[in-house]
Structure 1
């Protein structure tokens, strides 16, 4: 809620790729499936292939079937 607003604002999150949304309970990684890092969801991309993973695990390069490449960067900082 903003300082002067009376209604909570909606948050819209748009995925950078088309894919199947998977609830965290169904994700194979235990850290995510047990929600150790909190609530969320996973997206299994359609027509994209993983081509690069940064050693820190915070960024991934993906490539579509038509040759478009994208870098997905995952922010690792906590907000208070």
Structure 2
């Protein structure tokens, strides 16, 4: 099961959206650790193995949820 993560970044019109195979608890911990000092970097790895780095000081919000419950469109079952 994959987890969908949406990150709002200051002064950016669009949010950053990615799916990861990490568990939601691990994602929450990564976000909390990065925001603890405000000087850290949030690092996540998507399903394809690409790493995403976001400066904690630029994060507006983070949404974490299961991407399995929102399947819509062609090929959705």
TM-score relative to the length of structure 1 = 0.32
Higher helix share: 2
- Larger relative contact order (C-alpha < 8 A, sep ≥ 6)? 2
